[in-house]
Amino acid sequence: MSKRSDSRAACLLKLERPECRALLAQMSERQQHLLRHYWGLWAHDGQLPPAGDWLAWLILAGRGFGKTRAGAEWVRAIAEADGSARIALVGASLGEVRRVMVEGDSGLLAIAPRGKRPRFEPSKRLLRWPGGAQAMLYSAGEPESLRGPQHSHAWCDEIAKWDNAGGKAGAAWDNLLLGLRLGQHPRALATTTPRAVPLLKRLVNHPDVAITRGRTEDNDRHLPPRFLAAMRREFGGSALGRQELDGELLEDIEGALWTRALLEAARDGAASGLPGGWTPVRTVIGVDPPASAGGDACGIVVCALGEDGLVRVLADCSVEKASPEKWARAVATAAEAWQADRVVAEANQGGAMVESVLRAAEVNLPLRLVHARQGKSARAEPVAALYEAGRVRHAGLFPQLEDQLCGLIVGGGYEGPGRSPDRADALVWALTELALRAQVVPRVWVG
């Protein structure tokens, strides 16, 4: 906690209950109400706008930092001070703008003081403040909707989640900036947990962008201690923890088969899930069994080939430190949930054992046991080429799996999290089966 924070709200929080009651008793109801909504008192330093003549303010921080509250309070301050303000609220989708930025627990409606709450008109995608300021809702997935409208300010939430397919995220940002021309000091705020996507890399290196970096612990006064301890215990020191808790923008490893940009280009869209009307032709589960119950994870990855000729990664069902019975049951559960056609499992650790364990878990669908005759990176190279060719999509976010993919090095070696890329290996087996294994096509010859 910063010294500045200690000198503000923290001083009140340190008071004993009788002292707090006595202090509040001296205040009128109006003063108590103002105290609750006086953001300058309760905010930590990373939630307050930086000094300087910046065009955009980027809050790049871990989960729970208070990014949404900071964005909403920034917009509220502008709207209450300037009745002519025209503000753009931009999120990954219109649903997210409404659910998080407008109606969320830390959204614009929840934080507004009595008498100054804006009126929300969902049908018009519009917020109106009593003083005249207005805010319009936009989806970054529809960049053309930002072409034309003019604004004085903008709040863009979770820009790292914006749809990067076809350059949509960059187009949405560019169209927004081109319309940011009202008032004397047009400005934008972007709040996000970091991911190495092109738009975020661009903003981080832009000279007119002021950056606030932060960690989950920076907002510890408003987070349960048990949550903080659990997150550190579960993710501390991992690549996922560095990104999601410490707000670190992870850089690519030199010589890696997969880059963050390559994986983002393979994302099906900002909203995790499958495209409408997509039908799987064949679904395969790749399995990389652990050498022992107390060792590495059992990699279990679900992939499917669609009628459109693309292969999609549907789920990462991997389990950590599992007994043979537990990981076999996880495979069976995934096979049932995704209506798999085949399980492909590496059998280097004992083919008969792997098969018997899976059969005991009632995995009755076709099972192919494969033996690794090459190193992990050598097996992965043809699969990485499928990504380069645009033949693979990720139907969602798979942080642990993707961290492992980005740790596989061309020519051999692994520099990702954990001792072994078990999840990545499972993906390689599944995609090899679906897209690289020679399929025997029956033919009828007419003499």
DSSP 148-204: S--BSEEEEE-GGGS--GGGHHHHHHHHHHHTB--SSS-EEEEEE-----HHHHHHH
Gyration radius (Cα) of the chain, Å: 26
Tell me the two tokens of residue 382. Answer: 């043809």
Per-residue pLDDT, averaged over 63-88, amounts to 95
- Predicted pLDDT of residue 317: 95
Indicate whether 443 pLDDT > 60.
no
The CA distance from 113 to 52, in Å, is: 28
CA distances for 308 relative to 280, 311, 427, angstroms: 9, 9, 20
Domain chopping of the chain, boundaries: 37-242, 260-436
What does each C-alpha distance from 181 to 68, 77, 150 come to in angstroms? Answer: 24, 19, 6
Whether pLDDT at 95 is above 80:
yes
Q: What's the pLDDT at 229?
A: 84
CA distance 384 to 369: 22
Distance CA 371, CA 265 (A): 31
Choose the CATH number for 260-436 among 3.40.640.10, 3.30.420.240, 3.90.1170.50, 3.40.50.1980. Answer: 3.30.420.240
Quick check: helix, strand or coil at residue 134? strand
- The CA-to-CA distance between both ends of the chain, in Å, stands at 84
**Fold adopted by 37-242:** Rossmann fold (3.40.50)
Instruction: Record the pTM.
Output: 0.64
What is the average per-residue pLDDT within 243-252?
77
**Do 260-436 and 37-242 have the same topology in CATH?**
no
Instruction: Note whether 324 and 293 are within 8 A (CB).
Output: yes
| Percent of the chain residues topping a pLDDT of 70 | 84
Digit-coded pLDDT (tens) for 346-379: 886 655 567 777 777 666 778 888 887 777 778 8
- Classify 54 as helix, strand or coil: coil
Using alpha carbons, select from 369, 332, 366 the residue that is nearest to residue 348: 369
Q: Is the pLDDT of residue 208 over 70?
A: yes
Q: Is the pLDDT of residue 14 over 50?
A: yes
Whole-number pLDDT of residue 300: 96
CA distance 159 to 141: 11
